Structure 1
Amino acid sequence: MLLFGQFCFDSERLALYCGQREIALRPKVAQLLAYFVARPNELVKREAVLKDLWLHGEFREAALNQSITELRQALGDSAKRPLFIKTLPQQGYMWICDIKVTRCSRKRNRLLIGVALGVVLSLGSAAYMHSNSLFSYGQSQAQPQLIIHSMQNHTGVQAHAWWGYALEGVLRTRLQQDYQLLPKSRTPDYIDGVVKEAPQQFYLSLKPLQQRFLLQAELAGRRTEVIVEQLDDNFSDIAAQLIASLTDSSGFIADQPLLVNGLSDYYRGVQALTEYGPQLAKQYFEAALIHAPDHVPSRLELAQIAWLQGHIPEAKAHFSTIELSQTSQALRARYYLYLSTFEKALGEFEHAKHSGQLALTAAQKSQQIELIASAYQLIADIAWSTTQWQDYTHAMSAAYALIGSRSFAYSEAQRSFYLANPPAAGPQQKNTLNLAQSKEVLEAAVRYYRQTERQIDLARSLFAYGQNYLVPVSESEDSLLEALKIVSRSGDKYFQVQVLTYLGFYYIQLHRGDEALSYLNQVDINEAFTPAIEQLNVLKAMAYMDIGLTTDNHQPLQEAQRRLVRLLTNERTSEMTRANTKLLLAWVALKLGDVDNAESLTRTAFKAYKLSGLDDAVVYAKYTQMYIYLLRNEPNQALELIDFEQDKDAHLMLFYASVAAHMTQNDALLEQSKRMLGELQNSQLLLEQLGQFIQQPQRSAKLITELLDAPYSVYCQSKWILE
């Protein structure tokens, strides 16, 4: 045993103790601790840690940061005032606490240090042998992963399903000390083989049996059956029987009472929330509070339901009356996750950021991977909304390190509003790998949820699937409309607003502005949700603009102009929306022939994008300015804007560069830009336009306007991505 501070570390079992209490650590965090204690007072470089503990993985840096944070929290350590792990900027880390070894012979002492060293190093000769044998042993001692599947209800009465939710909740609570529990949301991954290495799996099924019920359970090859006389609050005792039959765990947690009056109503609410939505679930949570007024989980769900249905004062009242002092870390994490999401929806980003950090801290203390990943995803969403790109990248990388491509499947899809909500990288540089992985995950999720009663999960999966740009248009449209149908009857008004808003954007991409307006005009939302209101106003202006651009009708263009100017004069409009609005106004001005005004607006938008750190999204303003230079017969100025390395994937940049090269009779540059454009997918139409332009004996602004695609012709990239 290694002693440091108030802690004791068993380097053979990779177990950390404080007094008589074992502190739960993820296997990788325990290995990291062993790595540090094997090198007291030595500089440990980040590169060395990554090499020894994270041999592979796209997000090794984020995984190391996450593990360092968890280890510090387990030790009660601080990066600013360290007692154990000191950060040396630009160098690495140092273990600074004295280490003692329990009474053993000197030879044994050396062996213990060698064990700690061996589990994390791959060395030569004798040390290498220690590494192999001891690492395997350490891994066998780590908590096995377990996923508890939803109970299969074969009773023929869907109302009985609540009991399965209750039973699963008790099982999760009692097994978390012996297993690394994975969330049900990952069930599709393992059923459809998206993830190769499946964890242990806990199956439950309930069948009628002569006015009683037969509960069948299976875990890792073990099977058992229990006769259930009636479906009431007996799920706690039933869980204990299952654990005793199927595992070597006692499943007992003394400080966590499980019997609460009205708990059956709470789990009926959980079932209703999952299968039907908040409208039905609300009455069950209210009933639970009648029996147990201090039941925090029920009140927390009511707080969430209230704001999702647009009742903001009611939501605030629920949040303010919740007392967290006696709650578990997991429940505390959920509280701050719900609160932060609510604050983000209100546009209160500083409050949301603070609550998100509290959610992350509590989630890390709970050691529940899904909660930690959810907190990182929420922090990433907030960073996105406030254009904090470094924070966004770090948070999403950390989420990816924990739950893989599922972290992108639902989050990345939400950020595809481009000009209404521009990406950190422009549409030409969208991460195709992430989209491909997300598409696979979402396809599996849709198939799985179609076979269950979990309609809300199905709607979320359909919504995200419909936003993935690798999904064919015919499929994505059906997916979005099906999601809208489900959510419209769920009572989740905020979710309905999200789907309606995206459908508006979706039809704008297809240049079907009238259909876009038909969905955008259905949006009914509380004015307090300022980010959603702002986005809705931008999209309505874009829809009118689309109608005007595709029909050459000036009236819709003028309506778009009025709406965009109204956004600029509203002092509450965010800086990013102001930049987008100015670029949209520039495009309207170009269509109306007001080139001077278009250039002024474009330059302003360009500066705003630069100031916000949207270096890749600047491409919108760059190719607009190039087009203006071409209209003015200033091709040399247009060529000064092109960076062939940075803009190698930007269709219009290469297209306008090719036109400018021809106008300056620079044949070498023309061939280079044509070749690069031809290497991009969906560039054939642009190459045909270029060929026609080259054949013209005279070049004028009128010819450029009539023959070449203008910047606004692809303002949602529909020509290249959706079709």
Structure 2
Amino acid sequence: MLYFRQYRFDLASLSLYCEEEQIALRPKVAQLLSYFLTHPNQTVTREALLSALWQHGEFREAALTQSITELRQALNDSAQQPIFIKTVPQQGYHWICPVESPKKRRAEVLNKVTWAAVLMVFLTVGGVGMKTLFSADHVPFQSINKTRLIIFPLQNETGVDANAWWGYALEASLREQLHDQFQLLPKSQNAEFETEKNANKLTLTLKPMQQRFVLEAHYGNQTQQLVVEQLDEQFASVAGQLITQLNMHKQPQQSADTPINRGMSDYYRGVQALMEQGPKLAKAYFDAALLQMPNHVPSQLELAQLSWQMGEIEEAERRFAAISLTSAKVATQARFYLYYGEFYKARGQFTKALSQADQALLSAQRSQQVELIAMAYQLQADLYWTLQRWEAYQHAMNAAHTLIGSRSFAFSEARRSFYLANPPAAGPIEKTLLNLQNSRPVLEQAITYYQQTGQTMSLIQALFAYGQNYLVPVTITEPSLLRALALAKQGGYEFLEQQILSYLGFYYIQLHQGQTALQYLMQKRIDKRFLPSYEQQQLLIAMAYMDIALQSGDSEALQQAITAYKALLDSDYLYPVTRANVKLLFAWTWLKAGNLSAAEQLTQLAFADYQQLQLGEVETYAQYTQMYIHLLKNEPEQAILLMPTHSESQLVLLYGAVAAQMNHQEQLKQQLVAKLAELNNSGLLLTQLQQLEQQSATTPSVITGLIDAPYSVYCQSKWTIN
């Protein structure tokens, strides 16, 4: 046992205590604390910590940073004014708090406590108490090494779908009663159980039996059957009996004599309906639950969430404001902040949303529920992305990945992928390719699992994310997206339906099917108060018209694109990254229309915006667009001056080679052609350069006829689409 300030740390069990209360730490965080306490008063490099605790793994650096943050939070420490962990710039960390051994701590106790006080203690607690006071082996709360456990959703074999609600209720009660005893793996990890070699599983099946029911449970090598007289609100008692029969060493929290709370059955019927039948039926059940339990926070939360997702913004605001968290469990508090944060995000109120996400993370960490913690990190990541805080975004996503693996990217990253896969893009592109590769098999497993278990909402989300993964062949992604849309419409999942319609608009623009894209985009019913979604719809409509014009030369579509882009730039609200993208897209539209002056002005404005926003990847798009404009204006020297020193952009190298040819700089041209030849998918561009060499003069008309324009990469028209 080691002591520091009001804390003590058991090296054997890696357990941290503050006075009489045990503080929960993730295993890696506990190992990190152990390392610091056994290396006090010395600077420990990050390399030493990584070597000791994270020998392998892609996200080692991020995992260390996250663990340092969690350890500081657990100790109420501050990086700015540290009491325990001091950051040493360019070196590592220094544990600055004195650490005491049991022997030293006992000596100090004896020196500080007067014999009169010791006598008082002896008289109060007796001889046994005196022995305990000075026992080096005394640990007030014995640490429990938690076993990993997955509770699978109940299989309803009664032949009556309406009975499924009871399974949701039983599972929730089992989780509540087993939370302290086991490390409960998230429900969404059930689909990946085969990879969880060190986890136990609890499977449940409900079968009919002569006007009764039999609950069959499998846990480890045990199989137990429990007769259930009726599927009522006594699920907590049933859960307790089941835990006892399976020797899971937890006493039931509710006895058969406990008064029945009738409203809970409606609540769990609402949970079932939300997952399987749709939000309208779920809303009716949650309303019924509140009639019997007016202060039931989980029901209030679900209704607040459903209200805004069904377009009832004022109702949602009223419901969120009316919720009191005074007596709510900490996990429920975390869900409140997550729901409220999502609501603010949908309204475009990103600062308020981030505040809720921060509160959600604190509550989730107190609850020790891994899935809630990961969800809070993912909400933070979404908001950091929106606010262009790239370093914080990567930190949050890596933290989620550390907690739950590739599943953390399966939905968040896939939803964002169409901004990354194609220009105009924003943010760290190189990371997303890897994330989407990892998420593909995860989503394939999830789709199969949700189909088997009948969880419609989760199935829609999985199909939607899978359809957005641009590493999956188009022949697979298109049916996945269309099936997700059909299920969302059928079940009345309006919020999901609107999201899928947005992506289908971009998806068909990507395939040069602008008219089809418009068909889906025009189906969207967006309240303008949901600013991000409304803005996205208007941008995609403009892009669809632009795509039609670029592909067919349709003058009417070209004019509609110009009108739409002007309206966007004139709007009172436009997200900064979107405004920069609109300027570049508008410039490409003017290029197609032949207005070089307007195109050049907008490109320069877009380039300045991208520099200010630190979006290096899309900055390149504006850069080579300016180069192309200089080529058309017969200004090859200006195009060469714009070239970045080091670039692996095909169009930068292509336009640079054309400018070098126009300026008779043969050596520069050959260098650029050689670099272009080293890149993937450059064969067609090299052919264009060869055709250009055969022309008697390099005029603007020849360039536009032979050389790809900047917008050719817009939908990967000359690039590989699987």
Deviations 1:566-609 (A, max 9, x none): 11111212222221111111111111111121111101100100
Query: Residues 41-79 of structure 1, C-alpha deviation per residue, up to 9 Å, x if partnerless?
Result: 333333322221111222222222322233233333343
Does the aligned pair in 1 maintain the 2:181–2:250 contact within 8 Å? Answer: no
Identify the match of residue 426 of structure 2 among 424, 427, 430: 424
CA drift of 1:307 comes to 0.5
CA contact (8 A) 1:149 1:202 kept: yes
Shift of 1:356: 0.8
TM-score (norm 2): 0.90
Which 4+ stretches in 1 moved above 6 angstroms? 104-107
Structure exhibiting the larger radius of gyration computed from Cα positions: 2
Change (3 A) 1:158 1:704: same
User: Match of 1:179?
Assistant: 182
Quote the residue 1:22 is aligned against.
Answer: 22
SS in 1 for 2:470: coil
SS at 2:659's partner residue?
Answer: helix
* Paired residues for 1:491-506 under 5 Å: 491-506=492-507
C-alpha contact 2:45 2:91 (8 A) present in aligned 1:
yes
The CA deviation at 1:104 is: 9.2
Shift of 1:426: 7.5
1:650-665 to structure 2, matched below 5 A, reads: 650-665=649-664
The one-letter amino acid of 1:507's match is Y
- How big is each residue's C-alpha offset from its partner over 1:251-296, in whole Å with a ceiling of 9 and x where there is no partner? 5679xx9974411111111111111232221111111111111110
Distance verdict in 2 for CA 1:28–1:301, change over 3 Å: same
Q: 1:202 to 1:706 in 2, by over 3 A?
A: same
Q: How do 1:542-621 and structure 2 match up within 5 A?
A: 542-621=543-622
Deviation at 1:312, TM superposition (A): 0.6
Q: Give me the whole-angstrom Cα distance separating, in 2, the residues matched to 1:248 and 1:454.
A: 28
Match of 2:169 in 1: 166
Q: Which amino acid aligns with 1:45?
A: T
Q: TM-score, normalised by structure 1?
A: 0.89
Q: Counterpart of 1:212?
A: 212
Structure 2 CA distance for partners of 1:37 and 1:520, relative to 1, 3 Å:
same
The one-letter code of the counterpart of 2:378 is Q
Looking at structure 2, the residues matched to 320 and 284 of structure 1 have their Cα atoms a distance apart, in angstroms, of: 21
Q: 1:718: how far off?
A: 4.5
Please give the alpha-carbon distance, in whole angstroms, between the structure 2 residues aligned to 1:712 and 1:426. Answer: 21
Deviations 1:342-390 (A, max 9, x none): 1011010110111111111111111211111111111111111111112
User: 2: CA distance between counterparts of 1:259 and 1:42?
Assistant: 59
The alpha carbon displacement at 1:155 in A equals 1.3
- CA-atom RMSD in angstroms: 2.5
The whole-number CA distance in structure 1 between the counterparts of 2:356 and 2:721 is 37
Q: Please give the secondary structure, in 2, of the residue aligned with 1:722.
A: coil
Check 1:81–1:104 CA distance in 2 against 1; reply closer, same or farther (3 A cut). closer
Aligned to 2:697: 698
In structure 2, relative to structure 1, the CA distance for the partners of 1:596 and 1:258 (3 Å cut) is farther
The answer to whether 1:47 aligns with 2:50 is no
Partner amino acid, structure 2, of 1:699:
T
**Counterparts of 1:39 and 1:476, CA distance in 2:** 53
Residue matched to 2:137 = none
SS at match of 1:213: strand
In the alignment, the residues of structure 1 paired with residue 221 and residue 562 of structure 2 have an alpha-carbon distance, to the nearest angstrom, of 66
Corresponding letter in the other structure for 1:698:
A
Identity, % of aligned pairs? 52
Match of 1:147 in 2: 150
Deviation at 1:705, TM superposition (A): 1.0
CA spacing shift, 1:532–1:251, aligned 2, 3 Å? farther
Q: Is the 8 A contact 2:512 2:715 kept in 1?
A: no
Q: How many angstroms apart in 2 are the aligned matches of 1:437 and 1:28?
A: 23
The question of whether the paired residues in 2 share the 8 Å contact of 1:501 and 1:520 is answered with yes
> Counterparts of 1:623 and 1:688 in 2: how far apart (Å)?
19
Q: Residues 251, 44 of structure 1: CA spacing in aligned structure 2 closer, same or farther, 3 A cutoff? A: farther
Please give the alpha-carbon distance, in whole angstroms, between the structure 2 residues aligned to 1:714 and 1:4: 60
| Change over 3 Å in CA distance of 1:279–1:682 after alignment to 2 | farther
> Which residue pairs with 2:232 in the alignment?
232
- Letter aligned with residue 467 of structure 2: G
- 1:283 lines up with 2:284 in the alignment: yes
Alignment of 1:96-495 (within 5 A): 96-102=96-102, 142-191=145-194, 195=195, 197=197, 199-250=199-250, 260-418=261-419, 422-425=424-427, 429=430, 431-495=432-496
Equivalence for 1:720: 719
Aligned match of 2:682: 683
- Aligned partner of residue 232 in structure 2, secondary structure: coil
SS in 2 for 1:451: helix
Moved more, 36-45 or 324-333: 36-45
Matches of 1:81 and 1:643 in 2, distance apart? 43
Distance 1:251 1:342, change over 3 A: farther
Q: Rate the CA distance shift 1:250–1:318 in 2: closer, same or farther, 3 A.
A: same
**Cα deviations across residues 139-161 of structure 1 (Å, max 9, x unaligned)?**
x9642322111111111111111
Offset at residue 563 of structure 1 (A): 1.2
Over residues 462-502 of structure 1, what are the superposed CA-to-partner deviations in whole Å (9 max), with x where a residue is unaligned?
A: 11111111111121111111111111133332221111111
Distance, in Å, in 2 between the alignment partners of 1:721 and 1:411 is: 25
Partners of 1:83 and 1:644 in 2: how far apart? 47
Moved more, 160-169 or 572-581: 572-581
8 A contact 1:27–1:143 mirrored in 2: no
Change in Cα spacing, 1:172 to 1:707, as seen in structure 2 (3 Å) is same
Cα 1:276–1:695 shift into 2, 3 Å:
farther
Provide, for residues 137-196 of structure 1, a one-character-per-residue CA deviation record: whole Å limited to 9, x for no partner.
Answer: xxx9642322111111111111111111111111111212122211111122224xxx46
SS at match of 1:86: strand
1:187 and 1:46, CA in 2 relative to 1: closer, same or farther beyond 3 A? same
Unaligned runs of 5+ residues in structure 1 are: 108-139
Q: Is the 8 A contact 1:309 1:491 kept in 2?
A: no
Secondary structure of the corresponding residue to residue 512 of structure 2: coil
Shift in CA distance, 642/273, structure 1 to aligned 2, threshold 3 Å: same
Shift of 1:103: 5.3
Question: Following the alignment from structure 1 to structure 2, what is the Cα–Cα distance between the partners of residues 630 and 364?
Answer: 57
Q: Is contact 1:681–1:720 with CA below 8 Å preserved after alignment?
A: no
Residue 641 of structure 1: aligned partner:
642
Report the Cα distance in structure 1 between the residues aligned to 2:497 and 2:247, rounded to whole angstroms.
Answer: 43
- Structure 1, 550-559 or 12-21: larger mean CA deviation: 12-21
How many pairs does the alignment contain? 683
- The alpha-carbon distance between structure 1 residues 94 and 329, as it changes in their structure 2 partners (threshold 3 A), is farther
